[in-house]
Amino acid sequence: MPSIEEAEVLKSRAYAFLRNAKRLFDEGEYDLAAFSVEQFCQLILKYKLLVKVGTYPRTHSLLRLMRELSRLASSKKLESFINSEIMFLTRVEDAYIVARYLPRRYERREVEELLKFAERFREVIENI
């Protein structure tokens, strides 16, 4: 069984990535800001799963992690969020690969929208 300390490290890192995303956005580092949004989402989901069941799937897929959390939490609210935000979820999930490996640049406006999504995401996940 994982320790409370391990879960708290995941949670702390997740919120550090969210703060970092905002700072990088302000500095015009849009690719890294997008990546940091993805890391926030991924780590906070893993934190929630770790707290609820003591483990989480070894995956980078936000959709897989969210569906697992939704199943475990029996949450209609989370399922509804997944359905209504599917386009943002896949865009954030893609940021893991795109920002690291592909020669594509993120633009200010799209990262601004990813940050707005991250706040909606945070509100929903914190209340699960």
Domains in the chain (CATH in brackets) are 4-126 (1.20.120.330)
**Predicted confidence (pLDDT) at residue 43 exceeds the cutoff of 90:** yes
Local confidence band at 2 (pLDDT 50, 70, 90 cut-offs): low
**Predicted confidence (pLDDT) at residue 1 exceeds the cutoff of 60:** no
Local confidence band at 4 (pLDDT 50, 70, 90 cut-offs): confident
Least Cα distance to 61 among 53, 51, 69 occurs for 69
| Distance (Å) of CA 122 to CA 27, 66, 98, 125 | 23, 12, 22, 5
Local confidence band at 100 (pLDDT 50, 70, 90 cut-offs): confident
The CA-based diameter of the chain, rounded to the nearest angstrom, is 42
Contact 49, 72 (CB under 8 A): yes
